[in-house]
């Protein structure tokens, strides 16, 4: 997931579960400022905190293979 995809996913899930940014911050154990920055797609956020938020929705960020479309050549 890139930064924008994560931001959009978090915002969409928060709204799906009728959570405010304050609710999401409280439930995930991060600060309100962090939630706001995450939803805005800030590129320099701590991965452990991003995963704290994502874990509420059964997701996490991790190392993934970069697919160039040429991996079978």
**Phi, psi for residue 2 in degrees, rounded to 5:** -90, 175
Higher-pLDDT residue of 6 and 1 is 6
Q: What is the residue extent of each domain of the chain?
A: 3-55
- Report how far residue 25's alpha carbon sits from residue 47's, in angstroms, rounded to the nearest whole number: 15
Looking at residue 39, the DSSP 8-state letter turns out to be H
Per-residue model confidence as pLDDT tens digits over 44-61: 999 999 999 999 999 999
* DSSP code string of 2-61: -HHHHHHHHHHHHHHTT--HHHHHHHHT--HHHHHHHHTT-S---HHHHHHHHHTTT---
Per-residue model confidence as pLDDT tens digits over 4-36: 799 999 999 999 999 999 999 999 999 999 999
| 9: Cα within 13 Å, side-chain hemisphere | 17
Domain 3-55 has CATH 3.60.110.10: no
């Amino acid at each position: 997931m890139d930064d924008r995809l994560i931001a959009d996913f978090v915002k969409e899930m928060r709204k799906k579960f009728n959570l405010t940014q304050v609710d999401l911050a409280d439930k995930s154990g991060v600060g309100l400022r962090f939630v706001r920055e995450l939803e805005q797609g800030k590129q320099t956020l701590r991965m452990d905190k991003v995963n704290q938020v994502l874990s509420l929705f059964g997701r996490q960020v991790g190392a993934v293979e970069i697919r160039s479309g040429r991996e079978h050549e």
